[in-house]
Structure formats: C-alpha cells, structure tokens
Structure 1
Amino acid sequence: MILRPVRDDERDAEVVREIAAAAFGAPRSLDGGHPTAGTAWAARQDSRTRHLARTDPGGCWIVEDETAGPVGAVLSARREGTWSLSLLAVVPGAQGKEVGKALLARALHYGRACLRGIACAPGDPVAARTLRRAGLTLHPTIRLSGPVDTTGLDPLDGAVHQGTSRHQDLMDSVDRRTRGGAHGPDHEELLRHHALFVVDDLAGSGYCYAREGHIEALAATSRRLATRLLTAALVATPPGRSARVTHVCAESQWALDVAVAAGLSLTNDGFLCLRGLRPPELAIYSRTVP
C-alpha cells in the first residue's frame, strides 16, 4: 500500500470521486453527496477536492494498492484552529484492512494542533464507530426535506441581501462565533456553486448558502436572524423542487419550527461529530467543507 497526497489536478479529483462512488454507491457518503446525481454533482465534488488539495495538501491523501490501484481517500482541512473532515472513503474490496484507519490517522495528524474538530457523518455504524474511536463526540442530527409550502411561513422580519465575495469578512466573523474558526478560502469555493443570502443589521449578522432548495450551510448571531435566513432560502426554492436541509442539531429548534411551518418532513440524519465544540444552535454546518 502506498499513501500519497492528493494532487490538485483533474485526474486525482476523478480518482477521489470514483473511490467515493465505489465506497458508498447510492447511499449518502460521509459528505452527504449522492454519486448518482449526475455531472453537476461530479463537478462540485471535483471542485471541492481540488480546492482542498490546494489549501490543505497535508490533510488530503489517497491510498493506492500495487494491484488494485486507488482504494481509499481522505479530505480534511485546518482553519484557524478548527479541523474539519470532508471525506473518508474506502472501496469495498479494501474495507476491513485498516486502509480507513491509516487515512484517518493521517488526517488527524494534520489537525493535531487544532483544539476543535468537525465532521458530518451518515448513520452508517462503521463511520460512527470510526469517528467515536478517533475521540469525536457524536450528536444525532435531523434532516428537513420535501416540497415547500410558502403559505405557512411567516413574512420576513427584515432585509435579506444577495451576498458576494465582499461579504467574506462578515461571514468569517460569524464563523468564529459558531464554529470557532473562520472558513476563509472555503467561502470562495462555496460561492462557486451556491447562491449566498446575507443579513447584516442592528440585530446582528449571518449568512446562508443554498442551491435550488438545498441548504448547504447557515450561520447567524441570533435565532431571529437564523430564522430569517432559512425562511428566505426556502422561499427561493424553485417551483417543483424539494428543499433539503441536513445535519440539523436538536439544539436548533428554530430550524425545526421553520421546517414545520413550511410543511417539510423531519427524519433522522446521521451524526454531527465534534471535538472541542458544543452542538451548534445557530449554525448548520456545510457537508462539503464543514
């Protein structure tokens, strides 16, 4: 077995995507992606892989077998003392052979100086055991999904603006309050694939990334602003598309209230895995770059 860094090129991005597809198939992977979602999904996954390979080469690794070729991959990042795990995947033929253990150990070593850690995991028992053994606390989460009934939502109680890269300082400030460290360059990557909603007034500030009803990430400084952002993002869901909000902690009862008002279904949705952090009340972490 050879363990090597992920390179910032098209070939390695494709390799990582193929490993994830082989490892998880139709079910959700560690980052919540769906390998059957087509070329748009593939483009987003490849872009994420190349982004992390550029910003965090020490946290992104591939395991290659001399006979079978690439059999496992991990993507992780460090941001201002917060370590995050974006992907951990091992192809079926290599599972149970400590490939995943070796990859996670390398990613954890990369984040060894970080006091905080974040990973969004599915309900898969192997993933849960692996991350618990790594010292992360596991917190069950909720998925909000379905067609949006806008008639049940309250009117917005203030302005919501279209965000741009000029709002990065605002978003980094909110990140530091809700996840312990700013996302920094990750905001540029998220902006490539999502619409950005921003609030900034006397009540505080916050942001939300969304794409055709899928809420990728949300963070705010108060429940009122978080509610406003989620409401605005759900209202913007294109006709005929279902909304999807994943890995919502039980502490975020405001999000459940919005979901109930919008007629969304509430179901179990794996775990939010944390180190040195409490489950967030005012944030829904990105599965792409937690």
Structure 2
Amino acid sequence: MIIRQLRDTEEDAEAVDRIARTAFRDLDDRPQDDARTPADERRRIRGKARTRHLAVTDPEGCWIAEQDGEAVGAALSLRREGVWVLPLFVVLPAAQGRGVGRLLLERATAYGRGCLRGMLCASPSPAAARRYRRAGFTLHPAMRLTGQVDRERLLDPGDIPVHAGNPTHLHLLDSVDRRVRGAAHGPDHAFMLAHFEELLVADTLAGTGYCYRDGGEVQLVAATSKRIAVRLLREALSRVPVGTEASVSFLTAEQEWAVDVGLDLGLSLSTRGYLGLRGMRPPMPYVPNGGYL
C-alpha cells in the first residue's frame, strides 16, 4: 500500500473521479458509472478541476492511496485562515476494512494541525459518520430541499437589490465569509466564479451577502443577516431554469430561514447526510458548499 501526495495531473484527477463515483454509487438514487446528462458531465468536469485546483493550493492536504498500482482511495483537504475543510474522503468498497481510510484521514487531518476549527459535509454512510465522530466532529443532521420551483409563489423582491457578481467582488465575498464562518474562502472564490453558472451579490446598508447557483443547484449562500440571505436564496431559486429540478443541500436546523423559503416555493424537504463541525457552531445564515464548505 502506497499513500502519496496527489499530483496536479489529469491522470490523478481521473483516478479520484473514478473512486468517488464508485464509492458513492450505493448512496445515490441512480447509477454513477457514466455521465448521463449535460449537467452530470459538467459536475464531473468541475469535480476533476477541483481536484487539480486543490492539488495546487493545498498539496500537503491532498492524498491518494494505491494498491498494486491502482488508486483505491483519496482524501482532499484544504486550510483557509485557521479553518480546516475536508471536501472529499473516499475509499473503493473493495479496499474498505483494510486501514486505507484510516491512513488517508491521518494524512489529511495532519494538514489541519493547528487549525482551531474544522468543517465537512458527510454522506449518509454509517461508516463515514462513525469515522468523523471519532475524529472529533459534531455531526449535525442535514436536510435537503428538492423539486420544481412554484413560479406563482415568487413574490415581489422588495427593496433589497441583487446583482451579478464578478472578480471585483472578491474582497466583499471574503469579508462576508470572515463574518459568518470565521475564515475567507480565498482562492476558492476565483475557482467557483469560473465554474459555477452565476454569482449573485447583495450589498446594502442593511447587510451584505452572496450566493452561487449552477443550473438548479444552489451551491453556497452566506450573508450578514437572515433578511439578506432569504432575498438571495429566493432570487437564486427564481433563476433556476423552468423544468429543471432545484436543490439546496446540507441545511441544519439553524437554517430554518432557508427551509421556509424552499417550502414556500413548493420544494420538498428530506434528510440526507450531516454537516460535521469541530470547534465551531453552524455558521448562520449560511448554506455550505460540500466542495469548499
């Protein structure tokens, strides 16, 4: 068994993608062997790009396990201003129970040594939940909103203007991050700007916030007040293309404002996975992105 640092290569990105799709196959509602729709293909391309992005920004936090020349597991982690994040931790089913996951997680968590806070989004896997809890994470059960947006329930936006964001807003985004979760996303914002369909920004005397949307998926919401967060989420959902299923994931009980918005617009609520936190309470108001938290 070899545990080595992830390389910024297409080969390593493909290997991580293959492991993730295989490992998560049983947890999803449909097979993951190949991309099925243009949206699925965009997710795969973005996932591989994220792998290479983190291999560059956080090489000491990204590891891959190989057995007889075949990649069997991977752990991607990042460190931003005192917050350690684990965006991906996967092991092939055939390699589980052999200590591969333990070794990978040890390398990844060592990269976060000295960070007072930690974040991760966990799948519904009981084994993953057990491992994260033993690593010291408080597991907050998460909810997910899905469905078609009821356009007839979209109300007048009111007096909070929302406009498209761009690279000139990076300092504003990082400022909101520090207020809400205690650390900026830094270089990850440039990546998200390049790979998500749109960034929405609200900047008023009453507060500031932002939201990323990609197709029907609301990827991340952060704001300095619930009122701003509600306005951004409603605007993002209003922009989901007609006929496309909307989704908002990893909502904890603290994010009832988001649950209320989704239910008001006709989305359905279910439970799925956990938001794992160490040394911190759930950021609020905040909807995390599983790839960057």
C-alpha separation in 2, matches of 1:46 and 1:129: 27
Equivalent in 205, 210, 215 of residue 212 of structure 1:
215
Q: 1:31-82: per-residue Cα shift (whole Å, max 9, x none)?
A: xxx6654422210110110010000000000011126x11100000000000
TM-score (norm 2): 0.94
Deviates more, 1:139-148 or 1:17-26: 17-26
C-alpha separation in 1, matches of 2:275 and 2:233: 19
Secondary structure of the 1:240 match is coil
Q: How does 1:255-274 map to 2 (within 5 A)?
A: 255-274=258-277
Q: Give the 3 Å change call, closer, same or farther, for CA 118–36 of structure 1 in structure 2.
A: farther
C-alpha separation in 2, matches of 1:110 and 1:28: 30
Equivalence for 1:20: 20
Equivalent in 174, 185, 210 of residue 176 of structure 2:
174
Q: Cα RMSD between the aligned structures?
A: 1.4
Equivalence for 1:239: 242
Q: After TM superposition, which residue ranges in structure 1, 4 or more long, deviate above 4 angstroms? A: 34-37
C-alpha separation in 1, matches of 2:33 and 2:49: 15
Q: 1:160-182: per-residue Cα shift (whole Å, max 9, x none)?
A: 01001111111101111222110
Q: Give the 3 Å change call, closer, same or farther, for CA 202–35 of structure 1 in structure 2.
A: farther
Deviation at 1:281, TM superposition (A): 2.5
Percent identity over the alignment is: 51
What amino acid maps onto 2:258 in structure 1?
A
Q: Are the aligned partners of 1:153 and 1:258 in contact in 2 as well (CA < 8 Å)?
A: no
C-alpha separation in 1, matches of 2:112 and 2:33: 28
C-alpha separation in 1, matches of 2:287 and 2:178: 14
Equivalence for 2:254: 251
Deviates more, 1:159-168 or 1:38-47: 38-47
Secondary structure of the 1:252 match is helix
Q: How does 1:189-208 map to 2 (within 5 A)?
A: 189-194=191-196, 195-208=198-211
Q: Give the 3 Å change call, closer, same or farther, for CA 163–100 of structure 1 in structure 2.
A: same
What 5-or-longer segments of structure 2 have no aligned partner?
A: none
Q: How does 1:45-194 map to 2 (within 5 A)?
A: 45-66=47-68, 69-157=70-158, 158-194=160-196
C-alpha separation in 2, matches of 1:26 and 1:236: 31
What 5-or-longer segments of structure 1 have no aligned partner?
A: none
C-alpha separation in 1, matches of 2:263 and 2:153: 9
Q: Are the aligned partners of 1:35 and 1:41 in contact in 2 as well (CA < 8 Å)?
A: no
